[in-house]
Amino acid sequence: MGNGTLMNKIRHLDNVTARWIMKHFYLLFFQIVLFIIFLFWFVNMFGVIDVATDSSNNLTEKALAAQSVNTTIIVFLLLLNSFWMLYMFSYVQRIFGILKDLNFNVNRLRFDNRKK
């Protein structure tokens, strides 16, 4: 086994291992964290809406209830944006992995053709 072949196999194993760690650990970690934040917000939102519907005729209470509902809508949109960004990050990582595999295979073929 030549030195170049061994190094190509080591690079390939390193690439596969790094891709597995990036794909399964970080993305799942961030998805779990975002899901916990979303659940906390979702439960809290029911309390805010309940307070908004039970407000009395006081103008200040109605204004504060409307403001809190508007704030929950903004938080909901930010959470959806975070999920979308995580999806796009995953997609970019997938494309990067495919391009890296293509580069590895093309370089290996180029190296094999140069040896002949």
15-28 pLDDT tens trace: 888 877 776 776 67
48-68 pLDDT tens trace: 666 666 656 777 777 777 787
Confidence (pTM): 0.47
**Which of 73, 38, 67 is CA-nearest to residue 52?**
67
For residues 82, 83, 87, 88, the Cα torsion angle rounded to the nearest 10 degrees is -30
